[in-house]
Structure 1
Amino acid sequence: MSDSAPLELWLPALARFAPDHPLRLRQARADRLADGARGYLAGLSHYFRSDDTGLAAAALLREHTAHDAGDAPWLCADPCWVQAEMNGARLLACGQLGLSMEEAEALAAPLRPLFGDAGMVLEITTPDRWQLRLAPGTSVPAFAAPEQALGEDLFQHLPQGAEGRRWRVLINEAQVLLHQHPVNAGRRARGLSPVNSLWLWGGGRLPSRVAATHSAVVGEDPLLAALAARAGVSVMPRSHASVLGAAAGTLVDLQDLPVAEIEQAWWPMIDALLRRQAVQLSFASGERWRHRPWHRWRLWRRAR
């Protein structure tokens, strides 16, 4: 962990901010830094480093909630909504479908034998976050994270080749079991999205050690919290008080928020931070700036 880590705001992609958004003006007056990580998982991998390969999201989430990840390999199997189209299918939502635990358990019931026959155990860690406990030595191909596949053709992001065939068959069989599930009939009747597939991603074993770039974290993301806990870093829920009170060495996660909400609900706290201390503005699209309180007097710099 770096003792010189600044107060850092992790923000949505820069292109999502309109030219007249108040943050644009502050960004224009700040000092440009070299670009950093792009995207959610790449950002997490930058802020939290481990000796192991990859970001084992499934094992980290399971350990943080159930404390039983052990040394087994894990794979996220998040409930998702896939929409069939004339030439394929498109991933429209993943892991944020507002399921109750009762719905989750009912949906998982016919899936457990399917995965059990394949040597896997389906665990419902939370209603929207499911994991597969895999047998030791299970070969797992690279799976795309949900953020990489949302809104895109499903086939483009499924594992290909002979190694991926087993997983494609499992996903197809899970879709068949979920298609006519009574829970989905009830959800459709209430105007809710169905859960008609599982998205597999984030495989690996629990890392033995995680190091953090910051000494404290403010945020609501479950994987961010799991990584921080593994690194021994304090995590504070995102609130007006926790953002306003953030000090040097703190990472404040705002990258999951709509830019309109940042302006309407969070800008007074952000503005106070920018007036009080040095702040690094890190956008999910990779651009980074360092803003210091006196930069607001750079009146000749205008937002583009």
Structure 2
Amino acid sequence: MRRLGAAAPSAPVATALGRGDLRIGLDAGRRAQLLRHLHPVPQHWPVAALTRQRDAGDAAGAAWLRADPCRVQPDINGARLLAVGEGLGLDAQDAAQLLPALKPLFGDAGMPIDAPVPTRWYLRLPPSSSLPAFTEPDDALGADLFEHLAQGPEGRRWRSLLSEAQVVLHNHPWNARRQEAGRPAINSLWFWGGGVLPDHVGSDHAQVCSDEDVAGALASAAGVARPLPARFDAGGGDLLFDLVALRDAATLERDWLLPALDAVRARALDALHLDFADGSVRTLTRGQRWRFWRRPASGFASA
């Protein structure tokens, strides 16, 4: 899960958090968080290949790069990335209208483009392709676009392709129709997640429950993927619930923390581990109820 800022927990949750064990100093960020629970072999981060395999089942034998549709807004200092993929409300008609205009550009470059899912667009490359470092969308949203473009000699080709793709999209009449309908224009692409499928993905969990595409793709490759239920269910075995999309503290407590704490007290759950993307993990167990000297936590982010 992510931190919930200054949200104040209820008294039962604050007491449990305050009496729990806190571990800090782990690697921060969504990527590091997922790699604590799902382990590609060899260890790398080929997001595009993993999500492609889940979306289309044809990722083997090629390298893949996400080329997700995005919205870039020019400003006085350059341009900023405002939305990517799902944040643009794309549907199959958007992909059907825009992709044909991009296919000659990328086809001539030896990397066919397609979209088995309207919000996730892919480039297929030879398995031995050398790719520069690309920034993940979450790390670039709201930031200056030019600070996050691929650099160096390898990056030059991709910056050129991006510029040409932006011209194609800017001039496409479908974007004018989107704007007339009150929807944002799709005026750029975001390259990221390049690589080939790992040989194997392992996990210590019996099930990984997530509705987020990267976590779901990793879990699918490990054979432990399940949809995220509406609320906590102790089920059986070691379960991981990915709450990255949850933003409401009241919902977190009602549907997840309080039922999980009840399961700990009832011995249906040996321990509850709360893994935050900032690199901290809080562990709650039944025996901690005797730690009367511990002060309640003042917030979900309290150390």
Q: Same fold (TM over 0.5)?
A: yes
The 8 Å contact of residues 27 and 281 in structure 1, kept in 2 or not, is answered as no
Equivalent residues in 2 for 1:140-179, closer than 5 Å: 140-179=131-170
Deviation for aligned residue 1:46: 2.3
Distance 2:181 2:16 in 1: 44
Aligned equivalent of 2:244? 255
Matched, 1:193 2:184: yes
Match of 1:284 in 2: 277
Separation of aligned partners in 2, 1:186 and 1:296: 60
SS at match of 1:139: coil
Q: Structure 1 residues 295, 122: CA separation in 2 closer, same or farther (over 3 Å shift)?
A: same
Residue 139 of structure 1: aligned partner:
130
In 2, the alpha carbon distance for the partners of 1:40 and 1:269 equals 20
1:57 aligned partner: 47
Q: Choose from 72, 82, 95 the match for 1:82.
A: 72
User: Retained in 1: the 8 A contact 2:69–2:121?
Assistant: yes
- CA drift of 1:25 comes to 4.8
Letter in 2 for 1:301: R
Q: Secondary structure at the match of 1:201?
A: strand
Alpha-carbon distance between aligned partners in 2 of 1:293 and 1:183, rounded to the nearest angstrom: 58
**Distance (whole Å) between structure 2 residues aligned to residue 29 and residue 245 of structure 1:** 22
2:95 alignment counterpart: 104
Tell whether the 8 Å contact from 2:165 to 2:189 is kept in structure 1 after alignment.
yes
1:244 is aligned to 233
Measured after TM superposition, the shift of residue 266 of structure 1 is 5.5
Secondary structure at the aligned position of 1:171 is classed as: helix
Deviation at 1:247, TM superposition (A): 4.6
1:201-237: CA deviation from partner (whole Å, max 9, x where unpaired): 000001111111311111101221211121121x222
Shift of 1:26: 3.4
How much does 1:268 deviate? Answer: 3.7
> What CA distance in whole angstroms lies between the structure 2 residues aligned with 1:19 and 1:28?
15
Deviations 1:181-208 (A, max 9, x none): 2221122122222111110000000111
Whole-Å separation in 2 of the counterparts to 1:18 and 1:297: 27
Amino acid at match of 2:5: F
Equivalent residue of 1:240, what SS? coil
**1:196/1:26 CA distance change after superposition, 3 Å:** farther
Normalised by the size of structure 2, how large is the TM-score?
0.88
Asked if residue 210 in structure 1 is aligned to residue 201 in structure 2, the reply is yes
Q: Separation in 2 of the partners of 1:31 and 1:228?
A: 27
Structure 1 gaps of 5+ residues are 1-10
Separation of aligned partners in 2, 1:91 and 1:170? 17
Point out where structure 2 has 5 or more consecutive residues left out of the alignment: 265-270, 299-303
Q: Quick one: distance in 2 between partners of 1:271 and 1:224?
A: 24
Residue type at the aligned position of 1:245: A
Q: CA deviation at 1:157?
A: 0.8
| Distance of 2:164 and 2:14 partners within structure 1 | 48
8 Å Cα contact 1:45-1:55 kept in structure 2? no
8 Å contact kept, 1:84–1:90: yes
Per-residue deviation, residues 126-146 of structure 1 (Å, max 9, x unmatched): 000011001243221010111
Q: 3-state DSSP class of the match of 2:67?
A: strand
- 2:174 partner letter: V
- 2:108 aligned residue: 117
Matched, 1:127 2:121: no
Counting matched residue pairs gives 288
Q: Percent identity?
A: 42
Give the SS at the match of 1:191: coil
Q: State the alpha-carbon separation in 1 of the partners of residues 105 and 169 from structure 2.
A: 12
Alpha-carbon RMSD across the aligned residues, in angstroms, is 1.9
Partner-residue secondary structure (3-state), 2:6:
coil
Matched, 1:48 2:38: yes
Question: Deviation per CA, 1:33-58, whole angstroms, max 9, x where unpaired?
Answer: 24434222222222211222421111
Structure 2: how far apart are the matches of 1:19 and 1:26?
Answer: 16
1:163/1:24 Cα in 2 relative to 1: closer, same or farther (>3 Å)?
farther
**Which residue identity lines up with residue 196 of structure 1 in the other structure?**
N
- Tell me the equivalent position of 2:251: 264
Tell me how far 1:19 sits from its aligned partner.
4.7
Does residue 1:275 correspond to 2:262, yes or no? yes
Normalization by structure 1: what TM-score? 0.88
Whole-angstrom distance in 2 between the partners of 1:146 and 1:106: 23
Aligned equivalents of 1:110 and 1:24: distance in 2? 55
The one-letter amino acid of 2:230's match is H
1:130 is paired with a residue whose SS is: strand
Instruction: Report the Cα distance in structure 2 between the residues aligned to 1:154 and 1:287, rounded to whole angstroms.
Output: 30
